Structure 1
């Protein structure tokens, strides 16, 4: 199983933005130095939940700040973009990174309606826009003259430049947030990005994927190959001891929940449901205490795990120490 860093740095105050952005760059460099396989970027606007805001711009910086590590999106909020601009940006970053890009696409936030409002996008049209944009991206990357006539965009261009560095185009994955969307991608044999709070939850998702793919007539070898290209996102509160993780680290995660819940009633409902279950919605503890969860996850056959170490107002030294602990004690047990 590959291991990736989920670079999801919160900045609550404008005065802290520059520092938090710098810390995000440093954490990505540390991930490469520690031998991680990928760094994944997130996208949120207008609320401080993601300090660097614009993942394509930040990915270009990552391409220059690193030399080996894969650079992924988890995910681009596709419905907020103009498709031609998006196609150009991704092709350029693919060239700058010399083919290190993993393009994770999603329709847009399920909880932050203020993002749609800011970009003047009706959230009820987000899925349609997403489908049309993905079709345009693939056309632009694989064809020369491109003519498109759709519901939201109509254009004709002689050629998209630059051409992607990766042939025919960078690996492109969809984010899935429901069983139906997971099964739909499985029937196509497409790898996905998913979230799962526990290893059993990830195993259940993998079984849903296998069942849907088999029902669509895919052979087991093809299914195994697709699953080996999937990634699952996890959040951890990791410290040298269980007590420090619980008493020092966990409050940062809880402050993140409170901060986001105040901005979004949908997120508030998610937090309330998670807390009502009586189980922590995050892995919390020392490397030894979460080892079984990660080794169980590796046994599902999934290709990679994207780990978020920093949540809420957590200081950089706490999350970077956690990254080092993970790579020293857990990663050797779960990697290929």
Structure 2
């Protein structure tokens, strides 16, 4: 089993933004030195759901501080971008990480995010595909090619020369997609992309995992593409490792209350009421019992290890874990991450001895 850390921390207000960004930066460095495979960054705007907002900017900041881990955009929302800006951002992150990055995409974002950026959420799927298609054409354009004219419902222009910089990975950066629906999972596999999925219990995850891998194996991609997709496809969970099951549940009660309130404000409450967003986020924190069952792994080190083993048993080889969420205090999130590294992770991977001092210094500030 491989692990990545997922950074999507919420801030109580502008006076706390820097502290939150410092906390997730410390988590990224600690995870990198402790043997985590990737640092996953997401895109959210205006809603209070993500403090750093732009995953490409934050990924560029983290890139020189990471010695081993990939920067994984999980996910960007192409529908909110101009295609030329999106192409530049993908190439820039790829070259700054020397190819140690994956660009995940999705239709995500709440209606407020689409509204704030002047986009129509009803068009989200078609617009995502259109932006990606145009961005791919732009990335391939050379100085000798004819001008590239493009138009979407929200932007238009002409690319006369080329996208700069060129990507480090050839022919272009590796891509992935967030998907919960069968249609989205099949789309991801057919393109040879990494699957990023979440918020399902073990039996449904097992079915979707089989669908992805069966479709991927039948897709006709070369072995290198297949191997990368298998290695990096991941299941996301919010995790809290406490001393006991009871204390862990008590510690996450406040963060869960916050996430439920945010869901009501941003998406209309329950997952059914979330409308266009429900196919991506799945269960809502408003449905607390279901959320704990499907979106989270909470408990003592033994309980957390046992539940991860259940996913390992259905063939999941990579999990991306969120340790700071719901305005949880950075100190509480740090203790959970420390317990995971010390008491859970060694049951699945070899210990990383060089991380000991970094782990201490990064979680006690």
For normalisation by structure 1, the TM-score amounts to: 0.89
Find the aligned partners of 2:47 and 2:188 in 1 and give their Cα distance.
31
**Residues 220, 179 of structure 1: alpha-carbon distance in 2 compared, 3 angstrom cutoff:** farther
The residue aligned with 1:55 is: 55
What per-residue deviation string (whole Å, max 9, x for no partner) do you get for residues 39-76 of structure 1? 10111111221111111111111113323211111100
Q: Where do residues 133-152 of structure 1 align in structure 2 (5 Å cutoff)? A: 133-144=131-142, 145=145, 147-152=148-153
Q: Does 1:246 align with 2:244?
A: no
1:260, distance to aligned residue in structure 2 (A): 3.2
1:137, distance to aligned residue in structure 2 (A): 2.6
What per-residue deviation string (whole Å, max 9, x for no partner) do you get for residues 62-102 of structure 1? 11332321111110011000111111122112222222111
Helix, strand or coil for the counterpart of 2:232? coil
Structure 1 window deviating more from structure 2 (181-190 vs 48-57): it is 181-190
The residue aligned with 2:300 is: 286
Find the aligned partners of 2:204 and 2:120 in 1 and give their Cα distance.
32
Helix, strand or coil for the counterpart of 2:67? coil
Contact 1:8 1:42 in 2 (8 A): yes
1:149, distance to aligned residue in structure 2 (A): 4.1
The residue aligned with 1:234 is: 237
Find the aligned partners of 2:11 and 2:291 in 1 and give their Cα distance.
29
Q: CA RMSD in A?
A: 2.7
Find the aligned partners of 1:135 and 1:314 in 2 and give their Cα distance.
39
Find the aligned partners of 2:32 and 2:217 in 1 and give their Cα distance.
37
1:219, distance to aligned residue in structure 2 (A): 11
Equivalent pairs counted in the alignment come to 334
- After superposing on structure 2, the runs of 4+ consecutive aligned residues of structure 1 that deviate more than 6 Å are 214-225
The residue aligned with 2:309 is: 295
**Residues 238, 261 of structure 1: alpha-carbon distance in 2 compared, 3 angstrom cutoff:** farther
Contact 1:228 1:301 in 2 (8 A): no
Structure 1 window deviating more from structure 2 (281-290 vs 151-160): it is 151-160
Contact 1:198 1:293 in 2 (8 A): no
Contact 2:174 2:193 in 1 (8 A): no
Find the aligned partners of 2:292 and 2:333 in 1 and give their Cα distance.
23
- Runs of 5+ in structure 1 lacking a partner? none
Contact 1:274 1:280 in 2 (8 A): no
Contact 1:141 1:163 in 2 (8 A): yes
Contact 2:199 2:237 in 1 (8 A): yes
Find the aligned partners of 2:345 and 2:241 in 1 and give their Cα distance.
13
The residue aligned with 1:13 is: 13
For normalisation by structure 2, the TM-score amounts to: 0.82
**Residues 61, 189 of structure 1: alpha-carbon distance in 2 compared, 3 angstrom cutoff:** closer
The residue aligned with 1:198 is: 201
Q: Where do residues 201-280 of structure 1 align in structure 2 (5 Å cutoff)? A: 201-213=204-216, 226-266=229-269, 269=273, 270-271=283-284, 274-275=287-288, 277=290, 280=293
- Runs of 5+ in structure 2 lacking a partner? 274-282, 351-365
**Residues 263, 226 of structure 1: alpha-carbon distance in 2 compared, 3 angstrom cutoff:** closer
**Residues 220, 202 of structure 1: alpha-carbon distance in 2 compared, 3 angstrom cutoff:** farther
Find the aligned partners of 1:317 and 1:143 in 2 and give their Cα distance.
48
The residue aligned with 2:358 is: none
Q: Does 1:330 align with 2:344?
A: yes
Find the aligned partners of 2:292 and 2:51 in 1 and give their Cα distance.
29
